[in-house]
Amino acid sequence: MNAARPLPDRVRRIQAEMAERGIDATIVFKPENSFLLTGFNPIIYSHPVIAIVPAEGEPMMLVHALRDDHGRASAFVSDIRLYGAWSTKVTMGPNWLDALVSILGELGVASGRLALEEEFVPLQRYRQITERLSDADFVDASHFIDTVRLIKDPDQIEMARLAAKLADTGMDEAVRQIAQGVSEREISIQSMHAMNRYWTENLPDIEVADFGTLEGGAQNGLWTWTLVGDRMFFNCDNPTLRRPQRGEAVSVFIWANANGIHAENERTVAFGPLPDVNRRALDTILDIRETLRPMLRPGTRYADLFLATKAGLEKAGYPDNIPGRIGHGIGLGAHEHSSLDAKSELVLEPGMMFTLEPNLRVPGVCATQISDTILITDTGCEYLTQSRGGYIEV
């Protein structure tokens, strides 16, 4: 570990949220959040990676001994503790719970006010912790961590731009493949190949691994899936051998990431001239996107973006086809918690990043899916994904 690495601002913002709530330490298990606060993604989480954030000072990281070398090479924190048994590694004990209790005792907060991610921590693990630390007062950390994740730090924005370039590369290739009339599967394979080739040739120091689970890892997070014609109503499905027919629309969905930060790029492509009903739906969405563009600036409410979309759909004659939301947060997750919907109380701020994807589904008739990853700046916005937009026909 390079101890000279400065702590990112998100650590200070987590601690500011803790101070408001009188929290002595936050214990973080969720892979995206432990990465947020330590910089370490082991890819497979067969043993917990735990970030312990004290009220002051840098976070501590508790990992299984077999992750020691990888963790020290990757994390931006310097205080890394080990548990378990692995070769000659010196650890704090055989399991994470004993080690965690020891660390909290060392910090003098074992009977203090502690925060856990209640929306993520399994019930069994929650019981283990609360029973061992029976004198502590436990509160939920989920909401305030999500709030901190809304604003991206400069290092995260830099990675988002790289992820968006990867996604654009994949989309450009997908459009070329659609023009050849090949299957959903071939379009997706060639799109992912293009992204991986760009990664290999241009980003030698960037990881594209995604976040894993207890039972598996995601070594490569450059993903494309393609849905043709009526399969567009599935929204997300494994690509098949279905080929587009002339006059059908094809939707391409791409998630890419660079060092854990995601970008999303989605386009609906016409394979030959579309029937009037399909073309009208696409043109309606493209017009609404242009209406929303000047609203993408600090001070605009999420809800206002949704309501403007709703008004545009109603005006165009689609009052029965209003989507539930027109976008979502993005960053460590391809789908972070915030939704651009009518109920959201969020207001756009510099550093926020989200997808803009107003869409139209007319059951049994037509569907659209167009999405860009957008960063809110001090004066407006930056479209991070920049591949060909508008009406695309091949």
Task: Report residue 179 CA to chain centroid gap.
Answer: 30
pLDDT, position 1: 40
Query: H/E element holding 314?
Result: helix 302-315
Cβ atoms of residues 185 and 239 within 8 Å? yes
3-state secondary structure 82-124: EECCCCCCCCCCCCHHHHHHHHHHHHCCCCCEEEECCCCCCHH
Q: Concatenate the DSSP letters of all residues of 258-308 into one string.
A: ETTEEEEEEEEEEESSPPHHHHHHHHHHHHHHHHHGGG-STT-BHHHHHHH
Tokens 């860009």 correspond to what residue?
A: 372
CB atoms within 10 A of CB 261: 24
pLDDT value of position 373: 98
Ranges of CATH 3.90.230.10 domains, the chain: 151-393
Residue 205 · residue 226 · CB < 8 Å: no
Predicted TM-score (pTM) above 0.85: yes
Strands of 137-140's sheet in order across: 79-83, 60-64, 50-54, 25-28, 113-116, 137-140
| Of the candidates 199, 187, 154, the residue with the CA atom closest to the CA atom of residue 8 | 154
DSSP 245: P
Structure tokens at 85: 């048994």
Each residue's pLDDT expressed in tens, for the chain with a length of 394 residues: 445 467 899 999 999 999 999 999 999 999 999 999 999 999 999 899 999 999 999 999 999 999 999 999 999 999 999 999 999 999 999 999 999 999 999 999 999 999 999 999 999 999 999 999 999 999 999 999 999 999 999 999 999 999 999 999 999 999 999 999 999 999 999 999 999 999 999 999 999 999 998 888 899 999 999 999 999 999 999 999 999 999 999 999 999 999 999 999 999 999 999 999 999 999 999 999 999 999 999 999 999 999 999 999 999 999 999 999 999 999 999 999 899 999 999 999 999 999 999 999 999 999 999 999 999 999 999 999 999 999 999 9
Cβ neighbours for 217, distance < 8 A, ≥ 6 positions apart: 42, 43, 44, 45, 209
Where do we find the tokens 């830099």? Answer: 158
Q: What stretch(es) of the chain map to CATH 3.40.350.10?
A: 9-149
Record the tokens describing residue 377, joined without a space.
């700046």
pLDDT at 271: 98
Q: Which CATH code for domain 9-149?
A: 3.40.350.10
CATH architecture for segment(s) 151-393: Alpha-Beta Complex (3.90)
Say how far apart CA 237 and CA 239 lie, in whole Å.
6
